Amino acid sequence: MNLRRFDALIVGGGGAGLRAALQLARSGYKVAVVSKVFPTRSHTVSAQGGITAALGNVDDDRWEWHFYDTVKGGDWLGDQDAIEFMCREAASAVYELEHMGLPFSRLAGGKIYQRPFGGQSKNFGGEQATRTCAAADRTGHALLHTLYQQNLAARTQFFDEVFALDLVRDAEGYCLGVTALDIETGEPLLIEARATLLATGGAGRVFWNSSNAMINTGDGLGMVLRAGLPLQDMEFWQFHPTGIAGVGCLITEGVRGEGGYLLNRHGERFMERYAPHARDLAGRDVVARAIAIEIAEGRGCGPHGDYVEAKLDHLGAAVIAEKLPGIRDLSIRFAGVDPAKSPIPVAPTAHYMMGGIPTNLHGQVVAPARFGPEEPVPGLYAVGECACVSVHGANRLGGNSLLDLVVFGRAAGKHMLETLRENPYPRPMPADAAAASLARLARWAQPGSERVAAITDALRRTMQTHCGVFRTEATLRAGLAELDRLEARLAQAGLTDSSRVFNTARIEALELENLMAVARATLVSALARTESRGAHTREDHPQRDDARWLKHSLYSRAGDAVDAKPVRLKPLTLESVKPEKRVY
Amino acid sequence: MSDGAADRIAWRCRRGMLELDLLLGGFWAARRATLQPDETAAFERLLGLSDREIADRLQAGEPQSDAELETLFDCLRRFEAQNIQDPP
Ligand SMILES: Cc1cc2nc3c(=O)[nH]c(=O)nc-3n(C[C@H](O)[C@H](O)[C@H](O)COP(=O)(O)OP(=O)(O)OC[C@H]3O[C@@H](n4cnc5c(N)ncnc54)[C@H](O)[C@@H]3O)c2cc1C
């Protein structure tokens, strides 16, 4: 088998992976970035709204307020040390991007343009703050391209269209790299490194209605589970309130930040009932639930009453064209309406995974072990949407994901440098390092009676029906029973195409295995958590229950076990924000 | 065209933005059998553009120097108008 050796390996070429890679490549180490699509086609490219940092360019602001909002936004499930770290580093991370050449929009005086986003406040819960830095409505694209160019200049080596299969670990648990498949040639590869970072992004394709691109199949999460490591807080999925009805594509919160608002079939601005203060800019989970209730109670719009409307024509064509050009185009193309003239039909869409691979502040993957609940897995890191550090807690605030990518991408890169210095030589590679991966590939060279695409569709519908905005024990149990049936079908699935070159059917089969693992982690964790918190709404347990559930859940594949670990309520230097009722 | 080449194009329709996944992937699945070789070559060139560039050019409709690409963008706009504004 083809063996490639690097100092450091980054799996994933989105914002998180590229920020970490840059730190390493600039220090002169040999860094490989493996990505299943060309890196600049990573999902980061679709981030429209912006990146949050308390620069105070438009209005008074302080990173401590950002910290408070993030703790509250996450319904107290976020670790307050990690949140403090992120909010404190935010300004420097954004200025660093500016210096790298990220073309931010500008205010009249030349400073970086900022817009208000949901959940942002001044003075610890006071008036709306204006905190999200934007490059028009294409901040993610600008960020990704800037980081990619910087990496090219720093001589990061890219393996494009290479699909990572499994982690390789030795008997002592050290991560030694990954096995992978070159999509073009069909050749398996063993990529060895003294430090490996997973930055494989989200898994939103596990739901039927999703704002996520097709590549978001949770591959890094599947790799971690197969390696016997746990996933954290997998019951927490953010349903973005405003996906284009029936399609899923996202209408950014920036639309409401710029003054757009939501209406039901009676033309009522219903958010005034659910969040009298913040109204349309309340936390995403609050707005998504409000829309789901309006629809469920018969106040939805359209012939089937299955959406509400986002109105922004009152902003005027000029403001829409200047501030939200992509959104106008998107709604013309996918909803057939020009928002400068008519409202956009919207409904909640699965958008972001708050849970993921548990890590510490340095991006080191942690797992319960002999000496404690959070021991680093040597040589293994994770950053970005696939990771759970946990800054987003039970519900992410808009603009905080791009921030998470660059702050923790940089932190992980720095820590990986230390690991490389302390471990100057590669550890011996076990003889059977690739055996499990080769067996998986061989399994997908066989024909079978079931089709991968049909199972993928059924899986996504199952998750949508049984594990959506509202959940109960009965829906979750039904979802698990359905998942058992789908897993039995998966065992019978095979491929008719056994070619090696660009065998996309095989890649889709491997992705389905990862999606299945993510679905099970989500359903089992959601069933275990008998409370409602942030984005996880149990109709049969409608209250937040801090006495029993102010803790992270840790799902392990072995025996479908759900364990727990404490939430870090103590920040690094600030006063702890004590749990209180979350009202907007 | 070999299956490998068609599959390569199918994979490169995987994008960072869902809306392009839907449009480009849908277009290729529907038209791969009927596109002429020069049209297929133009489609591969189009896939080499960045997501934003594709989205912008779909939106702007400004004439470009590459006539073949421009014809293809027109074709994509028509395909989209027929298929996506009225999702199944
Ligand atoms: C429509 C939309 C708009 C958004 N807007 C905002 C916003 O305005 N502000 C904000 O903060 N957040 C926003 N988000 C969220 C944010 O964009 C994402 O959470 C973030 O970009 C994820 O970045 P990442 O680097 O973790 O992963 P990604 O950018 O998803 O990159 C993942 C990488 O991993 C690679 N990969 C995956 N699996 C494999 C494998 N098996 N082998 C090899 N490579 C693999 C992929 O090729 C890719 O390069 C938005 C999300 C969506 C869906």
- Predicted local confidence at residue A32, as pLDDT: 98
A473/A479 Cα distance (integer angstroms): 10
CB A528 within 8 A of CB A562: yes
Which chain B residues touch A42 with a CB distance below 8 Å? 16
Listed residue (A281, A277, A331) closest to A309, CA to CA: A331
* Closest-CA residue of chain B to A505: B7
* More confident site: A92 or A286: A92
Interface test with B, best of A141, A145, A342, A344 (most B CBs within 10 A): A141
In degrees, rounded to 5, the angle at the alpha carbon of residue A456 between the alpha carbons of residues A452 and A458 is 120
In degrees, rounded to 5, the angle at the alpha carbon of residue A85 between the alpha carbons of residues A22 and A115 is 85
* More confident site: A256 or A309: A309
Average pLDDT, chain A: 95
- Which residue's structure tokens are 């942030």? A534
**How far is the centre of ligand 1, averaged over its atoms, from the C-alpha of A571 (Å)?**
27
Question: Which atom of ligand 1 lies at the shortest distance from residue A37's CA?
Answer: 47
Q: Nearest-CA distance from B19 to chain A in Å?
A: 6
Query: Residues 7..66 of B with a Cβ closer than 8 Å to A: which?
Result: 7-8, 10-12, 14-22, 25, 50-52, 55, 58-59
**How far is the centre of ligand 1, averaged over its atoms, from the C-alpha of A385 (Å)?**
7
Confidence of residue A343 (pLDDT cuts 50, 70, 90): very high
> Which one of A248, A335, A504 has the shortest CB-CB distance to B18?
A248
Residue nearest to atom 14 of ligand 1 (CA): A47
Q: Any residues with CB less than 8 A from the CB of B82 and at least 6 apart, and which? A: none
Residue nearest to atom 5 of ligand 1 (CA): A47
Confidence of residue A371 (pLDDT cuts 50, 70, 90): confident
Tell me the best of A37, A52, A200 to mutate to test the pocket of ligand 1, counting ligand atoms within 8 Å of each CB and taking the most.
Answer: A200
Q: Nearest-CA distance from B52 to chain A in Å?
A: 7
Which chain B residues touch A214 with a CB distance below 8 Å? 14-15, 18, 21, 25
Interface test with A, best of B17, B77, B78 (most A CBs within 10 A): B17
Residue nearest to atom 24 of ligand 1 (CA): A201
Could A46 and B59 be called an inter-chain contact, meaning their C-beta atoms sit closer than 8 Å?
no
pTM: 0.95
A512/A527 Cα distance (integer angstroms): 22
pLDDT digits (tens, 9 = 90+) for A474-485: 999 999 999 999
pLDDT digits (tens, 9 = 90+) for A13-41: 999 999 999 999 999 999 999 999 999 99
Q: Nearest-CA distance from B13 to chain A in Å?
A: 10
pLDDT digits (tens, 9 = 90+) for A399-453: 999 999 999 999 999 999 999 999 999 999 999 999 999 999 999 999 999 999 9
A144/A138 Cα distance (integer angstroms): 10
The active-site residue out of A115, A169, A284, A568 is A284
Q: Is A421 in the active site?
A: no
Q: Nearest-CA distance from A2 to chain B in Å?
A: 22
Q: Is the dihedral of CA B13, B18, B23, B27 positive or negative?
A: positive
User: Per-residue pLDDT for A1 more than 90?
Assistant: no
- Predicted local confidence at residue A71, as pLDDT: 98
pLDDT digits (tens, 9 = 90+) for A476-520: 999 999 999 999 999 999 998 888 889 999 999 999 999 999 999
Interface test with B, best of A35, A37, A45 (most B CBs within 10 A): A45
Which chain B residues touch A37 with a CB distance below 8 Å? 11-12, 14-16
Q: Is A316 helix (H, G, I), strand (E, B) or coil?
A: coil
A575/A447 Cα distance (integer angstroms): 60
Which chain A residues touch B3 with a CB distance below 8 Å? 497, 499
**How far is the centre of ligand 1, averaged over its atoms, from the C-alpha of A357 (Å)?**
15
* Closest-CA residue of chain B to A246: B87
CB A433 within 8 A of CB A12: no
**How far is the centre of ligand 1, averaged over its atoms, from the C-alpha of A206 (Å)?**
15
Question: Which atom of ligand 1 lies at the shortest distance from residue A217's CA?
Answer: 38
Helices of type H across A275-399: 284-296, 317-323, 325-335
pLDDT digits (tens, 9 = 90+) for A157-182: 999 999 999 999 999 999 999 999 99
CB A182 within 8 A of CB A503: no
Name residues of chain B where pLDDT drops below 50: 85-88
The encoded tokens of residue A318 equal 């000029």
- Predicted local confidence at residue B87, as pLDDT: 39
Q: Nearest-CA distance from A559 to chain B in Å?
A: 35
A186/B18 Cα distance (integer angstroms): 26
Task: Give Dmax (Cα) for chain A.
Answer: 68
Q: Is A226 helix (H, G, I), strand (E, B) or coil?
A: helix
Could A214 and B25 be called an inter-chain contact, meaning their C-beta atoms sit closer than 8 Å?
yes
CB A310 within 8 A of CB A242: yes
- Predicted local confidence at residue B63, as pLDDT: 65
User: Per-residue pLDDT for A77 more than 70?
Assistant: yes
Q: Give the C-alpha distances (Å, rounded to integers) separating A68 from A74, A88, A311, A397, A576.
A: 10, 12, 30, 12, 9
A493/A485 Cα distance (integer angstroms): 13
Which chain A residues touch B14 with a CB distance below 8 Å? 37, 41, 213-215
DSSP secondary structure letter of residue A558? G
pLDDT digits (tens, 9 = 90+) for A82-106: 999 999 999 999 999 999 999 999 9
Give one DSSP letter per residue of chain B, joined into a string. Answer: --HHHHHHHHHHT--SSHHHIIIIIHHHHHHTTT--HHHHHHHHHHHTS-HHHHHHHHHH----S-HHHHHHHHHHHHHHHHHTSS--
A123 φψ region: left (φ > 0), alpha (ψ -120 to 50), beta (else): left
- Predicted local confidence at residue B84, as pLDDT: 56
- Predicted local confidence at residue A411, as pLDDT: 98
Amino acid, res. A4: R
